[in-house]
Amino acid sequence: MERVGVLVHPTRPVRDALEVLQRWTDARGLGLVQIPTGGEPSVAPAGEVTACDLIAALGGDGTVLKALHAAGRTRTPVLGVAYGSLGVLTAVRKDELLAGLDRFAAGDWLARHLPALEIRAEQTVPAWAVNDLVLARRGSAQLEVEVSVQGELYVRAAGDGIVVATPLGSSAYSMAGGGPLLAPGTGAFVCTPLAMHGGCAPPLVVPQDREVTLQIHPGYGGFDLEIDGLRVDTQAQRFSIAIRGTYATLVALDDSSFGMPWLRERGLIGDSPRVAARSTRVERER
């Protein structure tokens, strides 16, 4: 290792983790640079992702997503540091950062190779989504979306919009809209219509070797486009979406951190009340 990059949350006080990171890099003779993404305070000399062996993202899942996109071209490993409870993308809490850094340096970590949605629109450069793309109506008018797979029409849906999600993102907005969970490593992505007004269009799971086309017919209010939670200005009304192999590399220290335990611990998955009550009774009797 020669250099570590850091990306910080724009408002959270991350000074304590920064001090840990600075002492750790100083003790090992490593450089520490900040990867600028816009809007965050200056905490270290600016540097390029291409020159870094590791990116430490201090804040939460949103900060980690920014770091993953910044490191997407080089696939530089990203270590997510949580301020609060662990998220799906963070590997350690702020008070565990030193141990996490030591484990990374010793090679005692797991590389999570994350796919991403490649999003193409007319006369624009491709965009990438690690979690999801959301097209949502603006105002009271419905948003009409024609969904096609490899040129074959699936549905013309009028409603609140649509979410297209990776397996990682399937536990977020897509699941809230009634979409299925895709287990980690599933070679597919999912399209979930939002509050469709009449008709029938269950969430569609699309194999990784297929492409989805979304043709938008907005109402008078227009529509909003969000990619990984960030609003994107666009005049396009036709989008082609496919999932691509390894887009970014995330540092993990627990092999179960991306699976069912995380969803259960946070209440996103819950047992049937009858089963849960029986389990509680058994535990009390013990």
- Show which residues are catalytic: 61
User: In the numeric block, which tokens belong to residue 24?
Assistant: 């750790």
Which residues, in sequence order, are CB contacts of 159 under 8 Å at separation 6+? 137, 142, 143, 193, 194, 195, 196, 197
Nearest of 170, 150, 142, 166 to residue 240 by alpha carbon:
150
DSSP codes of every residue in 160-215: SEEEEE-TGGGGTHHHHTTPPPPPTT-SEEEEEEES--SS----EEEETT--EEEE
List 232's β-bridge partners, or say none: 225
Kindly state the helix (H) or strand (E) to which residue 280 belongs, with its residue range.
Answer: helix 273-285
**DSSP-derived secondary structure letter, 36:** -
- Residue 201 phi/psi, 5-degree rounding, is -155, 85
Cα–Cα distance between 275 and 281 in angstroms, integer?
Answer: 10
Assess contact for 95 and 81: CB atoms under 8 A: no
